[in-house]
Amino acid sequence: MGVASVMRGDRGGQAMLAVLLVVAVVVPILNLMVPESSPWHVSTYTVTLLGKYLTYALLAVAVDLVWGYLGILSLGHAAFFGLGGYAMGMYLMRQIGDRGVYGHPVLPDFMVFLNWSELPWFWQGFDLFWFAALMAILVPGTLAFIFGYLAFRSRVTGVYLSIMTQALTYALMLAFFRNEMGFGGNNGLTDFKDILGFDLKSDATRIGLFLASAGALALGYLACRWIVTSRLGRVAVAIRDAEARTRFIGYRVDRVKLAIFTFSAMLAGVAGALYVPQVGIINPGEFSPLNSIELVIWVAIGGRATLYGAVIGAILVNYGKTYFTGAFPEAWLFALGALFVIVTLFLPKGIAGLVGMIRTWRRSRSPAESAAEAAP
């Protein structure tokens, strides 16, 4: 299946990818070519911010895949994101080499500080980029596979599953806060110097990471589209809408769920791996249950089961967060809280559904009754 067939009928997705392409071309030019004095210049700070939003968007797409198309509300996707981030963070930590505060040739600073004499076994191999990149995908994938295997096989569904995923990320947060875990405890991993030999502080590296994020988002989006337009995707929707019936028809519900859930977790891991070099730190706070719930609201605001809506929601909410926390720090939680309530009450289909809602409202203006509430 080619890109064209996957994207057929997905008008919003086509527009989103087009905008993404334009941004990916224009932003580097405006950053590198346009002099800083010009009003058209895009600062490196903004580039990094955009890159961060793009990784969030990829994460939101991963959530939308399982929530919108499979009906699993995961309140633990930040855990997969965080694990991917930690894998990349470990690579970046090893790249520091002897340039740390303590100047130890192998051990990261926090291990020297804890009086550890050698690298723990699970840190082996993370000096190689390909290994770390593989782990950023495999570790979240494995965790999702084990968790999903146990949960789906015993038919834990709905709210129970949501609460269990939340417990999962909560347990991980508590675990990563412990110094004994060997991941830097409370402070996490930070003070990164370079990636693949490129200085992380240079503009060119920042642009490179931004482009990598954009590319990952585009590829991740296409992969999700490919899944949802395939037979697998149609079975997934069937499971979402009538799980028992799908099972009785003869589909192996647990296997479909497991496959898509695991893939989604891997996607979240990729997003985390791209996120960490751009923000320069990963700490256990990323596992906090609040983060997972927050990213669900990105999807809800954008519109679930559209994929491109997740991208819109992630970028809009995070832009709002950046703006509010800078301009009115007091108001941000009020705004976020109100968003949660308003979206669930009045916008069950999110921003992506807004277009459709307005269209149906216009078309049937004479029998206006209940058109707005058409979506249960």
Partner 1 sequence: MPMNPTCRSRRFPHLGGLGLVFGVLILMMLPLGSMADEIDAALIDLSDRSFEVKQAAVDVIAAGGDPRAGTLLEALLGGNLYARESDRRPVLVAPSPGGYRLTDALDGSDLGEVERGAVKKITINNRMRNQLRTAIAALTLASPDPEIRLKAAQQMLGDANPIVVEAIRDQLGREDDQRVRDYLDLSLALASLRDEAPAARLAAVNALSGSLYPAARNALTKLLSDEPDPEVRAAAERSLAAIEQKLKLNAAAETLFFGLSLGSVLVLAAIGLAITFGVMGVINMAHGELIMIGAYTTYLVQQAMPGFLDYSLFVAIPAAFVVAGLLGVLIERSVIRFLYGRPLETLLATFGISLILQQLVRTTISAQNVAVQNPSWMSGALQINPALALTYNRLYILIFALMVFVALLLILKRTALGLQVRAVAQNRAMARSMGVRSARVDALTFGLGAGVAGVAGVALSQLTNVGPNMGQAYIIDSFMVVVFGGVGNLWGTLVAGLTLGVANKLMEPWAGAVLAKILVLVFIILFIQKRPRGLFPQRGRAADG
Residues that bind partner 1 (CB under 8 A): 73, 147, 150-151, 153-156, 158-160, 162-164, 166-168, 170-171, 174-175, 177-178, 289-290, 293, 296-297, 300, 330, 333-334, 336-341, 343-345, 348
CB of 287 to partner 1, least distance (A): 12
CB of 45 to partner 1, least distance (A): 27
| Nearer of residues 95 and 292 to partner 1, judged by Cβ | 292
| Nearer of residues 103 and 158 to partner 1, judged by Cβ | 158
Q: Which residue has the tokens 């990094």?
A: 48
Instruction: Report yes or no: 307 and 224 within 8 Å, Cβ to Cβ.
Output: yes
| Nearer of residues 20 and 260 to partner 1, judged by Cβ | 260
CB of 164 to partner 1, least distance (A): 5
CB of 153 to partner 1, least distance (A): 8
| Nearer of residues 277 and 302 to partner 1, judged by Cβ | 302
CB of 143 to partner 1, least distance (A): 12
CB of 329 to partner 1, least distance (A): 10
| Nearer of residues 330 and 369 to partner 1, judged by Cβ | 330
Q: Is the dihedral of CA 99, 102, 104, 110 positive or negative?
A: negative
| Nearer of residues 277 and 309 to partner 1, judged by Cβ | 309
CB of 11 to partner 1, least distance (A): 26
| Nearer of residues 85 and 289 to partner 1, judged by Cβ | 289
| Nearer of residues 225 and 349 to partner 1, judged by Cβ | 349
Q: How far apart are the first and last CA of the chain?
A: 34
CB of 368 to partner 1, least distance (A): 20
| Nearer of residues 75 and 212 to partner 1, judged by Cβ | 75
Beta partners for 222?
Answer: none
**HEC assignment per residue over the chain:** CCHHHHHCCCHHHHHHHHHHHHHHHHHHHHHHCCCCCCCCCCCHHHHHHHHHHHHHHHHHHHHHHHHHHHCCCCCCHHHHHHHHHHHHHHHHHHHHHHHCCCCCCCCCHHHHHCCCCCCCHHHCCCCCHHHHHHHHHHHHHHHHHHHHHHHHHCCCCHHHHHHHHHHHHHHHHHHHHCHHHCCCHHHCEECCCEECCEECCCHHHHHHHHHHHHHHHHHHHHHHHHHHHCHHHHHHHHHHHCHHHHHHHCCCHHHHHHHHHHHHHHHHHHHHHHHHHHHCEECHHHHCHHHHHHHHHHHHHHCCCCCHHHHHHHHHHHHHHHHHHHHCCCHHHHHHHHHHHHHHHHCCCHHHHHHHHHHHHHHCCCCCCCCCCCCC
CA distance 172 to 29: 41
CB of 185 to partner 1, least distance (A): 11
